[in-house]
């Protein structure tokens, strides 16, 4: 019926190009109809030019890697194509389409405007009116251009096809209208510039597109009533989604304002205002955009085009949702670095909030080489990741920064930077010296002449940051990091988890993976990667894959120790030892992961064991009773994370702190200088023993994880049933940590330091153990000894701690690895190579380091060889 519908009140000349043509009778006729637009030589030319221009635009990045041009040549090609074709099209009666909507001339004009649209975005790469488009916006932009091309065959589509087409064009009209308004501030500049620089015509392209598409929509709904619903849907659906986003944006912004005002009414002033705000926010599309506004998302066309700085992030994103929401409901101004702290606490996004000395824009990760060796019999692994970071810019060098997320208990044990094509290994030094050297060379000296440093620094929350400078324009740099990790034990299963990183985009990076597993582990299973190991070795090539793991049955622990300098390091299974303990108070760290049944069971246990009080923190310590229990639980379980002030525990020796962790939340560094941090530091100084802590989940938030590593908390993990048994038997796991013993509970390991002669092993057998035993022992021992001095920073000047770090050669709160360009650079910053301990870890070495008398034997052999080589020449 739709195909035979007659258009009323439409002039014959205007109605002649019917929207629906009669169905072709044969397959050849159908093919002829679809090819008919190409009978017009102008349309045929436009099609070829459009194909070339679109292909050139897509291939921009790869072409820059093989050409020496700065990329402006590509824009010139886009511009010349659009300009010349317009000169051909418009004078030949195509002005008739713009003035009278003559559809016979429509196709070539629309293709001409699409060519200008591509040219405008090519220019945008150099003069950034629009920042980098959000991923969803990229698809909308590409789709809008494709629909304009597809409209050429509108007459050949069935009714439902035309309805879909015009619904899409209605959405494209909204996009073009938004872009025309966004660039509106530049119209006054662009008009006079047309006479001088014709490229300013690009400013008016969105307005022209909105005009021609909008007029076609009006004509279509007048002539074809069956298209009205489609056009209405194409307009209303995007507007409805926008209104929904705006409502969520307004609600979140209003909540931030309310929390800030409520801060003045709090009884306690321990927590900073930004923590109070973070506890009212849940990570999500709207919240993340609000917290990233100005850091990641641009809100004005002036942000970068006129040379504005890009803040903490290297790439700004243009998202129309953020621009419109910001103009209607501005986000309240944040004080100092509140915004970045909120972003880290709520979304756990650390990369992009780290400050750099140079910009990191135009950087991408092009290749990753991952080599892994797993020792199931020692429950540890060593991972080397070699990264190629590429600078696609044409003029300036960039600074690359990577944030590595490590498995729990891991330590960085190697770093190398390629300088002039040669791998240069790092030296271990104090964190203060490494930071000073890097900042002086990169921040000061490289402003005159570029130098080549790299540094890796310990961060809270199982993270490290790597900085590399310079990454020259149109070149890449190669850096390698080595990570020693314990394997996680779950029952009788061991798991290796791949360390992953945030940094310059690795979405298109290629990866070569080599996995080697010692021994013959049973039930070897790969998760996240595919392949079958051959002789316990797997080699894969493909796209970079950050999230993968390997599982296997846990074999018997090897008794073989690693020896160095008269001491041996030996593994043993961790078997918790119980000690008498009857808590007088329970402190519950309640957040959204808790349920009412969790709280009810703990209250029941407290009643049975005659525990005096069950405390929670809600604007001060509150004793939970049957009367206020429901209200407190409803309030506290709305928090996405908790930040319990453990310094308010009145009797640490007889109290039990119970938590249920979430992955998000602030770190101790984020809380630095706040009243909360100052009081925590004061209490930590007077603690005689770690506070007994029971975690109902294996994952701790960054705050509690760091306190556990620093021995402020003694944390035991289990479920409510296990806790009930402990409370009923009046027991708790004893703290097994000593000066000569570290515990890695997640791996079921104890690493003991003993006198080498008491190891009961031959020298040859002892050397079979990997040196990573010492590295893991060193890292955990350092965290124990730093302990409560972490809060007052006195550990930074402790030479004993620095010597321990040198012995195991690991990155820690005390130590960093740094690569400098020349030996003179090391000398002037006082960074010496220490030969007493381990060096950078490698995959080619099991770890055995010669003992002093072995060094003497090696020197003696070298002297003998030299004597027999020189003696004949002396006798001549």
**Band (46; pLDDT cuts 50, 70, 90):** confident
Same domain for 6 and 57: yes
d(CA 112, CA 380): 62
Domain end position, chosen among 200, 235, 270: 235
Question: Using alpha carbons only, what angle is made at residue 472 by residues 467 and 474, rounded to the nearest 5 degrees?
Answer: 125
pLDDT exceeds cutoff 60 at 760 = no
Same domain for 169 and 133: yes
User: What tens digit of pLDDT does each residue of 121-148 get?
Assistant: 888 877 778 888 888 999 999 999 999 9
Lowest-pLDDT range of 77-91, 256-270, 450-464, 845-859? 845-859
Same domain for 84 and 55: yes
**Band (819; pLDDT cuts 50, 70, 90):** very high
Does residue 541 form part of some domain? Answer: yes
User: What tens digit of pLDDT does each residue of 567-617 get?
Assistant: 889 999 988 888 999 999 999 999 999 999 999 899 988 888 888 889 999
Which range has highest mean pLDDT (277-281, 308-312, 552-556, 674-678)?
A: 552-556
Does residue 799 form part of some domain? Answer: yes
Same domain for 387 and 457: yes
Listed in sequence order, the residues at least 6 apart from 730 whose beta carbon sits closer than 8 Å to its beta carbon are 580, 581, 582
Residue percentage of the chain with pLDDT more than 70: 85
Same domain for 269 and 219: no
Residue percentage of the chain with pLDDT more than 90: 30
* Range of the structural domain that residue 606 is part of: 578-735
Backbone phi and psi for residue 469, each to the nearest 5 degrees, phi listed first: -150, 145
Same domain for 548 and 523: yes
Domain end position, chosen among 208, 235, 262: 235
| Helices within 669-719 (DSSP H only) | 675-686, 702-709
Structural domains in the chain (count): 4
pLDDT exceeds cutoff 60 at 867 = no
Same domain for 204 and 266: no
Same domain for 582 and 566: no
Averaged pLDDT for residues 82-96 = 69
Domain end position, chosen among 705, 735, 765: 735
Does residue 595 form part of some domain? Answer: yes
**Band (177; pLDDT cuts 50, 70, 90):** very high
Strand (E) or helix (H) holding 693:
strand 691-695
- Tally the C-alpha atoms within 13 A of residue 750's C-alpha that lie toward its C-beta: 16
How many residues are present in the chain? 876
pLDDT value at residue 89: 74
CB-CB contact of 702 with 667 (8 Å) = yes
Does residue 751 form part of some domain? Answer: no
pLDDT exceeds cutoff 60 at 344 = yes
User: What tens digit of pLDDT does each residue of 395-444 get?
Assistant: 788 889 999 999 888 999 999 999 988 999 999 999 989 999 999 998 88
Q: Are strands 363-375 and 510-517 parallel, antiparallel or unpaired?
A: parallel
Does residue 227 form part of some domain? Answer: yes
Does residue 749 form part of some domain? Answer: no
Same domain for 775 and 705: no
Averaged pLDDT for residues 626-635 = 88
Residue 638 sits in a domain of what CATH number? 3.40.50
CB-CB contact of 404 with 546 (8 Å) = no
Q: What is the pTM of this model?
A: 0.81
Same domain for 528 and 598: no
Does residue 497 form part of some domain? Answer: yes
d(CA 384, CA 415): 9
pLDDT value at residue 314: 61
**Band (32; pLDDT cuts 50, 70, 90):** low
Same domain for 514 and 427: yes
Same domain for 447 and 546: yes
Does residue 740 form part of some domain? Answer: no
Q: Rounded mean pLDDT of the chain?
A: 82
């Amino acid at each position: 019926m739709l195909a035979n519908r007659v258009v009323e009140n439409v002039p014959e000349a205007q109605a002649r190009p019917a929207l629906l043509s009669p169905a072709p009778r044969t397959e050849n006729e159908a093919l002829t109809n679809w090819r008919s637009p190409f009978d017009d030589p102008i349309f045929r030319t436009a099609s070829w030019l459009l194909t070339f221009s679109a292909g050139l635009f897509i291939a921009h990045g790869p072409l820059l890697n093989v050409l020496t041009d700065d990329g402006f040549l590509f824009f010139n090609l886009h511009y010349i194509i659009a300009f010349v074709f317009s000169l051909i099209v418009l004078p030949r009666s195509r002005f008739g389409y713009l003035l009278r909507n003559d559809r016979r001339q429509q196709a070539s004009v629309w293709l001409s405007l699409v060519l200008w649209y591509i040219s405008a975005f090519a220019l945008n790469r150099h003069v950034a009116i629009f920042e980098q488009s959000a991923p969803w916006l990229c698809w909308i932009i590409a789709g809008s251009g494709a629909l304009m091309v597809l409209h050429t065959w509108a007459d050949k589509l069935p009714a439902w096809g035309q309805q879909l087409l015009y619904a899409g064009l209605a959405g494209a009209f909204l996009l073009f209208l938004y872009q025309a308004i966004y660039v509106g501030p530049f119209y006054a500049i662009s008009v006079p510039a047309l006479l001088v620089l014709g490229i300013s015509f690009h400013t008016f392209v969105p307005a022209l597109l909105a005009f021609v598409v909008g007029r076609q929509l009006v004509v279509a709904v007048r002539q074809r009533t069956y298209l009205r619903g489609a056009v209405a849907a194409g307009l209303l659906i995007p507007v409805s989604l926008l209104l929904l986003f705006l409502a969520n944006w307004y609600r979140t912004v209003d909540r931030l304002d309310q929390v800030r005002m409520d801060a003045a009414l709090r009884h306690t002033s321990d927590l900073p205002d930004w923590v109070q705000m973070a506890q009212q926010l849940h990570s999500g599309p709207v919240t993340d955009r609000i917290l990233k506004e100005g850091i990641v998302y641009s809100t004005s066309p002036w942000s970068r085009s006129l040379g504005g700085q890009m803040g903490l992030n290297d790439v700004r994103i243009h998202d129309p949702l953020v621009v419109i929401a910001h103009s209607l409901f501005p986000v309240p101004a944040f004080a100092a670095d509140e915004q970045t702290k909120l972003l880290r606490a709520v979304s756990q996004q650390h990369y992009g909030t780290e400050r750099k000395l140079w910009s990191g824009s135009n950087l991408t990760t092009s290749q990753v080489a991952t080599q892994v060796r797993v020792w199931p019999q020692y429950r540890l692994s060593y991972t080397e990741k070699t990264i190629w970071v590429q600078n696609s810019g044409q003029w300036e060098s960039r600074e690359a920064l990577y944030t590595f997320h490590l498995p729990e208990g891991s330590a960085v044990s190697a770093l190398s930077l390629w300088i002039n094509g040669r791998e240069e290994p790092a030296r271990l030094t104090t964190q203060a010296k490494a930071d000073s050297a890097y900042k002086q060379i990169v921040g000061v000296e490289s402003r005159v002449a570029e130098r080549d440093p790299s540094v890796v620094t310990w961060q809270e929350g199982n993270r490290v940051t790597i900085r590399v400078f310079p990454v020259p324009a149109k070149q890449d740099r190669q850096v390698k990091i080595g990570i020693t990790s314990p394997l996680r034990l779950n029952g009788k299963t061991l798991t290796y988890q791949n360390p992953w990183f945030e940094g310059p985009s690795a979405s298109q990076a290629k990866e070569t993976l080599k996995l080697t597993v010692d021994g013959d582990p049973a039930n070897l299973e790969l998760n996240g990667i595919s392949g079958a190991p051959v002789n316990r070795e797997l080699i894969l090539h493909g796209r970079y894959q950050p999230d993968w793991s390997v599982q296997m049955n846990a074999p018997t622990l090897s008794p073989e120790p690693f020896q160095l300098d008269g001491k041996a390091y030996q593994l043993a299974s961790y078997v918790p030892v119980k000690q008498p303990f009857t808590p007088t108070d329970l402190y519950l760290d309640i957040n959204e992961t808790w349920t009412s049944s969790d709280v009810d069971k703990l209250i029941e246990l407290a009643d049975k064991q005659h525990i005096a009080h069950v405390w929670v923190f809600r604007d001060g310590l509150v004793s939970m009773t049957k009367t206020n229990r429901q209200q407190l639980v409803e309030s506290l379980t709305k928090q996405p994370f908790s930040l319990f002030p453990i310094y308010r525990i009145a009797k640490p020796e007889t109290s039990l702190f119970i938590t249920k962790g979430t992955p998000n939340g602030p770190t101790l560094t984020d809380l630095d200088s706040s009243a909360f941090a100052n009081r925590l530091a004061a209490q930590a100084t007077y603690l005689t023993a770690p506070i007994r802590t029971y975690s109902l989940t294996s994952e701790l938030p960054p705050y509690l994880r760091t306190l556990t590593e620093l021995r402020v908390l003694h944390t035991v993990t289990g479920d409510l049933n296990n806790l009930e048994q402990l409370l009923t038997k009046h027991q708790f796991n004893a703290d097994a940590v000593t000066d000569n013993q570290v515990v890695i509970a997640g791996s079921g390991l104890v690493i003991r330091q003993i006198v080498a002669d008491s190891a009961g092993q031959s020298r040859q057998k002892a050397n079979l153990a990997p040196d990573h035993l010492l590295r893991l022992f060193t890292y955990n021992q350092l965290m124990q000894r730093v302990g409560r001095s972490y809060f007052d920073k006195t550990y930074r000047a402790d030479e004993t701690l620095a010597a321990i770090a040198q012995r195991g050669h690991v990155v820690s709160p005390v130590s960093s690895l740094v690569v400098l360009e020349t030996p003179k650079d090391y000398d002037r910053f006082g960074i010496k190579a220490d030969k007493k301990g381990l060096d950078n870890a490698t995959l080619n070495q099991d770890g055995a380091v010669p003992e002093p008398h072995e060094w003497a034997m090696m020197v003696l052999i070298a002297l003998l060889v030299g004597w027999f080589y020189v003696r004949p020449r002396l006798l001549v």
